[in-house]
């Protein structure tokens, strides 16, 4: 038999299987239930970012107890997580195109929750490194499958908004990690050690990992209230017995299609990755910046910055999606890329000023619009990928997008700030303010150039998708 996309030769005893025209697709699920699914996925995303970002508030005690530098701390914050998150994202993105997406997310949720709790038993840098890698592996299951689910639940004119609402989880989770972390620190701060069942004597920062990690093991059951929707836009094949089956594409075919759209992918993915690079670099070090430069306690820094992220950044990511959908409805096909370019430029007056303010109040005031604008691209960026890719390739394309964005953003952003402090400013902790300024400014300049240059190729990719779909029908 002939397996479409694998270029295998048909056996002489079996008739060749040929692509068949698409059959009529099921109507989209009811709006109320579709938004319920987005709510569940957003909640899961919230927990993923609480587990991912709680480390940023615990820089001081972890550095002290593990005896590590800013650069080593940054490897725990970003690189150790990001490498495994991105590489496993490619493999799990392929599974999202062919297997149960809700089952994949549920299994990943349990795994990363256990690994987060495991950070609470780490006794040295190497053990913490291994657990952070495990968190990355588990969380790699989530977004490719979630983007694919949302795309099948919503028509294209509401898709950017839906994915932006899901992307709220980034900022709600990050904000809660800081606020709850600050609150827990204030509660347990009077005690350095706790004697817990099974694990014995435990430092207060280790207790926080148990508190944020273990609930996810039970909450993973929520994914089984989500129904798998029909996969839309798939090509069909007629089997030898006359039955119809949905046809899946190989990784080779998916990457060949992406290669045809390489200019779009480079401008889009690297452009948004640099915005992520700036955003992750800032979020990893702003709590420490408040403590070092403005003399705030860890609890106060966590609560104030957590509220900024939880409110301003959440509003920003939803606003980005709404604006993109508004522009698309008025004929701007490249609205998702265009919004990314606009916010990259609009960030400059706020993002360049907040690190150098001598008054903490002015720093906080400027951080609000900076956080709003920094978050706005991260609903429209994955929506753009869904917009230019055939359905059966969206999980793999999303995984490639997440690979680049997280490797550059999460993997290198925190380390870039730390290494600038350690090596340019000779480990002067007060110079973290200028490290934030330098890293953020350079990243936004290059990003704005790439996103602007990518507008034309993006429109060409939309045309190419139409031609590909027509040719396969």
Residue 7 has pLDDT above 60, yes or no: no
Q: Kindly state whether residue 5 falls inside one of the protein's structural domains.
A: no
pLDDT of residue 442: 97
Flag whether 138 is in a domain.
Answer: yes
Q: How many helices (H) and strands (E) does the chain have?
A: 21, 5
Calculate the average pLDDT of the chain.
84
pLDDT band at 187 (very low <50, low <70, confident <90, very high): low
So what's the pLDDT on residue 157?
77
- For residue 189, is pLDDT > 60? no
- How far CA 315 is from CA of 164, 272, 357, in Å, comes to 10, 19, 25
pLDDT at 159: 81
Distance CA 309, CA 172 (A): 7
Among 124, 154, 163, 155, CA closest to 41 = 163
- Average pLDDT, stretch 326-334? 92
Is residue 359 scored above 80 in pLDDT?
yes
Q: Which of 58-62, 128-132, 151-155, 348-352 has the least mean pLDDT?
A: 58-62
Using the predicted structure, report yes or no on whether residue 138 has a pLDDT greater than 90: yes
* CB-CB contact of 83 with 407 (8 Å): yes
* Nearest-angstrom CA–CA distance, 462 and 258: 12
Dump the DSSP string for 252-319: HHHHHHHHHTHHHHHHHHHHHHHHHHHHHHHHHHHHHHHHHHH---HHHHHHHHHHHIIIIIHHHHHH
pLDDT for 399-427, tens place per residue? 788 888 888 987 889 889 999 999 999 88
pLDDT exceeds cutoff 70 at 153? yes
**Residue 452 — very low, low, confident or very high, per pLDDT cuts 50/70/90?**
very high
274 vs 79, residue with greater confidence: 274
The partner residues of 238 in beta bridges, in order of sequence, read: 244
Query: Which residue range(s) make up the domain with 308?
Result: 30-229+251-464
Is the pLDDT reported for residue 243 higher than 60?
no
Q: Return d(Cα 326, Cα 318) in angstroms, integer.
A: 12
Domain count, the chain: 1
Are 176 and 123 in contact by the 8 Å Cβ rule? The answer is no
Give the pLDDT mean for 16-40.
Answer: 71
Tell me, yes or no, whether 76 lies in a domain.
yes
Token match 């949720």: residue?
109
Q: Give the pLDDT confidence score for residue 371 in this predicted structure.
A: 95
- Identify the bridge partners of residue 20 per DSSP, sorted by sequence position: 236
Determine how β-strand 193-196 pairs with β-strand 244-246: unpaired
Tens-digit pLDDT profile for residues 84-123: 888 888 888 778 877 889 999 999 999 999 999 999 888 8
Residue 15 lies in a domain: no
For 456, the token pair is 């034309």
- pLDDT for the residue 9: 30
Q: Which residues of 48-70 are buried (b: 16+ CB within 10 A; e: fewer)?
A: bbbbbbbbbbbbbbbbebbebeb
Mean pLDDT of 129-150: 91
**Cβ of 40: how many Cβ atoms within 10 Å?**
21
Answer whether 375's CB lies under 8 Å from 317's CB: yes
CATH of the domain at 147: 1.20.1250.20
Please say if the pLDDT value at position 169 is more than 60: yes
> Which 3 state secondary structure label does DSSP give 193?
strand
pTM over cut 0.85: no
458-472: per-residue pLDDT in tens?
999 999 998 887 776
Q: What is the pLDDT of residue 19?
A: 43
Task: Please report whether residue 369 resides in a domain.
Answer: yes
What does the pLDDT read at residue 247? 56
For residue 77, give Cα distances in angstroms to 44, 140, 411, 468.
20, 16, 8, 41
Q: Is residue 186 assigned to a domain?
A: yes
Return the minimum-mean-pLDDT range out of 3-12, 153-162, 185-194, 203-212: 3-12
> Does any domain span residue 309?
yes
User: Residue 214 domain-assigned?
Assistant: yes
Residue 281 burial (CB count, 10 A): 29
């Amino acid at each position: 038999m002939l397996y479409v996309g694998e270029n295998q030769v048909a056996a002489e005893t079996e008739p060749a299987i040929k692509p068949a025209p698409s059959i009529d697709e099921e109507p989209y699920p009811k709006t109320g239930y579709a938004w319920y699914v987005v709510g569940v996925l957003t909640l899961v995303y919230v927990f993923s970012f609480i587990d991912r970002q709680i480390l940023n508030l615990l820089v001081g005690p972890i550095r002290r107890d593990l005896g590590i530098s800013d650069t080593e701390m940054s490897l725990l914050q970003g690189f150790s997580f990001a490498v495994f998150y991105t590489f496993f994202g490619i493999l799990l993105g392929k599974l999202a195109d062919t297997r149960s997406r809700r089952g994949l997310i549920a299994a990943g949720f349990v795994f990363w929750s256990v690994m987060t709790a495991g950070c609470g038993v780490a006794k040295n840098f190497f053990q913490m490194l291994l657990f952070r890698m495990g968190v990355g592996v588990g969380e790699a299951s989530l977004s490719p499958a979630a983007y694919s689910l949302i795309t099948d639940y919503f028509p294209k004119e509401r898709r950017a908004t839906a994915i932006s609402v899901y992307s709220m989880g980034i900022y709600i989770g990050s904000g809660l990690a800081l606020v709850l972390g600050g609150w827990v620190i204030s509660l347990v701060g009077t005690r350095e050690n706790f004697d817990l069942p099974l694990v014995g004597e435990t430092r207060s920062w280790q207790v926080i990992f148990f508190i944020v990690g273990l609930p996810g093991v039970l909450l993973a059951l929520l994914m089984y209230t989500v129904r798998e929707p029909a996969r839309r836009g798939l090509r069909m094949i007629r089997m030898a017995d006359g039955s119809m089956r949905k046809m899946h594409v190989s990784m080779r075919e998916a990457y060949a299609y992406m290669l045809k759209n390489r200019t779009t992918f480079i401008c889009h993915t690297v452009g948004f990755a640099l915005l992520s690079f700036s955003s992750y670099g800032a979020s990893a070090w702003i709590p420490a910046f408040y403590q070092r430069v403005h003399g705030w306690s860890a609890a106060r820094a966590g609560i104030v910055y957590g509220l900024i992220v939880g409110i301003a950044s959440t509003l920003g990511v939803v606003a980005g999606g709404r604006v993109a959908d508004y522009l698309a409805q008025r004929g701007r096909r490249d609205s998702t890329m265009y919004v990314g370019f606009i916010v990259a430029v609009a960030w400059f007056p706020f993002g360049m000023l907040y690190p150098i303010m001598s008054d903490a109040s002015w720093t906080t005031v400027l951080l609000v619009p900076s956080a709003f604008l920094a978050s706005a691209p991260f609903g429209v960026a994955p929506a753009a990928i869904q917009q230019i890719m055939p359905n059966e390739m969206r999980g793999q394309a999303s995984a490639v997008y997440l690979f680049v964005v997280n490797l550059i953003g999460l993997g290198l952003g925190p380390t870039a700030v730390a290494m600038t402090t350690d090596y340019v400013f000779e480990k002067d902790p007060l110079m973290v303010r200028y490290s934030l300024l330098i890293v953020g400014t350079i990243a936004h300049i290059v990003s704005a150039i790439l996103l602007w240059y990518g507008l034309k190729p993006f429109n060409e990719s939309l045309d190419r998708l139409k031609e590909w779909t027509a040719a396969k029908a």
